[in-house]
Structures are given as C-alpha cells and as structure tokens.
Amino acid sequence: MELSVLLLLALLTGLLLLLARGHLKAYGCLPPGPRPLPFLGNLLQMDRSGLLKSFLRFQEKYGDVFTVYLGPRPVVMLCGIKAIREALVDQAETFSGRGKIAILEAVFQEYGVVFANGERWKTLRRFSLATMRDFGMGKWSMEKRIQEEAQCLVEELRKTQGALQDPTLFFHSMTTNVICSIVCGKRFGYRDPELLRLLDLFYQSFALISSFSSQVFELFHSFLKYFPGTHRQVYKNLQEITRFIDRVVEKHRETLDPSSPRDFIDAYLIRMDKEKADPRSEFHQRNLIYTALSLIFAGTETTSTTLRYGFLLLLKYPHITERIHKEIDQVIGPHRLPSLDDRAKMPYTDAVIHEIQRFGDLLPIGVPHMVTKDTSFRGYIIPKGTEVFPILHSALNDPHYFEKPEVFNPDRFLDANGALKKNEAFIPFSVGKRSCLGEGIARMELFLFFITILQNFSVASPVAPEDIDLTPRESGVGKVPPVYQISFLAHGGC
C-alpha cells in the first residue's frame, strides 16, 4: 500500500514537472524572473508584507523588465520611467489592453470604460471624454463647479468650530459631488443618508481592494473565488452601488428630453436610443452602469485619498503649511475666490501638491495592462494576452529622478529661480492611452480644494508633528492613508 502511494506521488510530481516545463516553454521568450513552481507560481519567493516589496526586490535582481508568475499566470513587470514610457507611450497601441484586477473581475466582466478592451474600450473612451468635456471638464465650467463645491465645504468646516474631525467624510463628500454633478446631474447635502451610505461603500471597498487578503486573492482567484473572503464583500458593496446607479438611470429615462441633455447619463441614453437597432452597438445598459460606476468610484477615491494624505503631511510638516499660507495671502488674499489662473503665480503651493501626489503614491503597482498582440520588447517576446504591470511606485521613487525619495520635499519640484519644474518620472496618473480619464479634473480639484481650505483655515493636530505616523493603513492595488484627527481653525480675517 505504501509503495503504491509513493509511486502515485512520484507520477503526479513528474506530471506536474512536465506541465511546468511545457508551460514555461510556451512563455520561453518572456523577460527573465524568478523560476515558478506549478500552480504556486512565485508564491514562495514573495515578501509577506505584500506584492510591491516583492516586485521591487525582483527588480534589483532581474532589472527593470522581468516576469513574475502570480499563481499560474505570467505577468510582465515594468519598473522605472524609461521602461514604462517605452511600453505605454512608444508602443501605446500594443500595450493598450486592460489586464484584470481579480477582486473586481466578477463585478465588471470587461464592461464599462475602465475595464473594457478592444473596440468596446475605444468607443466608450471616445464618448466618455467628449461627453465629460461637454458637461464639465472644459476649464471654465469645471472650475466654477469646483469653486462652488469648495465653498460648500468651507461652510461645513466652519460648523465644526475647530473641533477635532476625521476629514474622510468631508473630502469624500466634495469629490463625490463634483463627479456626480457631471455624471448624473446630482449633488448631495453633506448629511444626506444616501450620500453617507455611498461614501461608506466607496471607502470600505477601496480599503478592501488594497488589503493584503486581496493580494492573496490576486494570486489564486481561480481557486479562492469559491470560498468566503474579501472578494465577496467587495462584490456585495459594488453591486449595491450599481443598484443605486440603476435607479438614477431609470429616473433619467423617465424625465429625458433628447433636445436638452442634462448630464453624462442623459447623453448616453440619447446615444443608446439612436443605436438601438444595431445589435453590435456598445451603447447598452450594462456598459452605461459600469462606466458610471467606474467614473464615480475613481473620481471620488483618487482625489479624496490624495487630499487625506495631503493634509496629514501638512500636519506633519507645519513649516510647509506656513509657506503655503504666505503664498495664498500674497497672491489671493483672504476674500477673493481662488481660481486656476492663480496656479502660475503660486509655484510653491503647486510644488507641494506635486510632492503630495508623488509621496502619496496612490496606485503603487499601477492598473494592469495587457498586450493586444505578440510583442517584441527589449529583445523579448511577450505573447498576446499577457498582462503587464507598470509599477508607478518605481518611477515616483526613483532616486535618479528624485533625490532621497523617502523624504517629503516639495522643493524638488522648484528650479533655482523658484519656478515649478517638470520631472519626467512624475506620472501619478500613469501615461499612454490608458492614463487616467479624469486627470484634468483631478488636477483642478486638488489645486482649488487645497487653496480654498487653506485660505479659510489653519490646521492643527492633537499629535505632535514628530509623532505623526505616515504609515499607510493598506498598501496593495491602492494605498490608503491612516485614520487621523484634524482641527480646522479660522485663519486670518476669515
């Protein structure tokens, strides 16, 4: 009996080795990387603290372009600005496919503008960019929306009378209102129960997507999806948000005037009606729901999380906050509304915002890409359908471009004359055809929200600056700042 068990084990081991060799041969021209095991991939070589540290360790050994097996599937890693630009810009079309984020796959299933591929993606991206420009992303109209929302926030912060607050709700509310005004023509009161529920779902989901358990799920989702876990909660949360969007769409359909669209959803419904006879049309309900979900979720989380990191850094480094206040007083004063035209006259404040984005490192491993055809890259052959991770952290923290990247230093973005200077490795929104759809609106929001808040308030913490901990609460697909308390105290003549 024991002999037959041993023979069976030997046969199974031999079969696995043959399968592994065949699998590796199929991907034999991929960039080098740690040798995988059958099924496990490179699991045993991974750092327990998460995927990013593992990838950075592999970069030291294998260079800026290497292959890692996440479970059984090979993924090509791009590290450093040169490799990322060579792929996503110089071969933009080839690298324009969207890879999968395992924990979100069951929700989106390649629908909606962010996770679509091929002609579906091209069609939805063209429509989304044009329509968002029509309903708010043009400079003047978008600036006005943000200015109005910033003043609403100021009123809410004044009501706190300097009491300690977790700023999450405030920052989430104002960014949600801006993107919702474009997508569904709706703005919420800051205490609206429907808004509070949505914000809780957004915040909870982003934290779960960025958690260690979701990184484990990324490795073995084909097996783990059948068991309870973080992925089930993320699915449940996002399904609740899609039901909310579905209700909003139905209300729009009931009140739609084709001659006078009010927002993104109206424009989409009009296009749906025009193409309803075309069975190949991408303008259908499912793409509408998941495009709206993508725009609202991304438009809320990215900017609000950056703001939360930003104000934590301002509490940590009060001398930087003082310099911003001085620049605001000199350029704008206490009463005039800040405008986008002020940015050119406020290089230090602009440099601080750049450094917050660099240091905050919101999407450290980037959003996965996929090659759309067999591709020659740096002497290797990447087969069609292979996923590619542009490791944005490696560009934003490259010591060749940012001296002492672990240090928060806004002056790195200023030249000898105190003017803002560009740095090609500064790519918080990624680059290429899959770069962030909302980059323009996010840049406007960050500047106008920061300036408006600091024009009206000084900030204080119950924790001494030297004791403030910047360690993220979660760091995976995204980086989530720690929870903290802050006081907004009336500033100057306000």
Contacts of 477 (CB under 8 A, 6+ apart): 101, 103, 209, 210, 214, 215, 363, 365, 367
Distance of CA 407 to the CA centre of its chain: 22
Q: Is the dihedral of CA 406, 408, 414, 417 positive or negative?
A: negative
Q: Please count the CA atoms within 13 angstroms of the CA of 47 that sit on its side-chain side.
A: 11
Looking only at the bridges linking them, the beta strands covering 375-377 and 369-370 are: unpaired
Measured in whole angstroms, how far is the alpha carbon of residue 39 from the centre of its chain? 30
Q: Which amino acid is at 166?
A: D
Check: CB of residue 366 under 8 Å from CB of residue 392. Answer: yes
Q: Which two tokens stand for residue 382?
A: 């990447």
Q: Which of 265, 269, 228 is nearest to 244 (CA)?
A: 265
The CA angle 263-268-271, to the nearest 5 degrees, is 130
Inter-residue long-range contacts of 203-208, CB under 8 Å, 24+ positions, other chains counted? 203/168, 203/172, 203/301, 204/233, 204/237, 205/234, 205/237, 205/238, 205/297, 206/301, 206/305, 206/478, 206/480, 207/473, 207/474, 207/480, 208/103, 208/233, 208/234, 208/237
CB 491 within 8 A of CB 325: yes
Query: Got the DSSP string for 40-91?
Result: TBTGGGS-TT-HHHHHHHHHHHH-SEEEEEETTEEEEEEESHHHHHHHHTTT
Q: How far apart are CA 364 and CA 231, in angstroms?
A: 20
Binding residues for heme: 436
DSSP-derived pairing of the beta strands 387-391 and 479-480: unpaired
Within 114-183, residue ranges assigned H as helices are 118-132, 139-159, 168-183
CB 434 within 8 A of CB 96: yes
Which residue's structure tokens are 């679509």? 116
Which residue type, as a one-letter code, is found at position 295? L
Q: Which residues are annotated as a binding site?
A: 436
Answer for the pair 90, 239: CB distance below 8 angstroms, yes or no. no
173 φ/ψ angles, rounded to the nearest 5 degrees: -60, -45
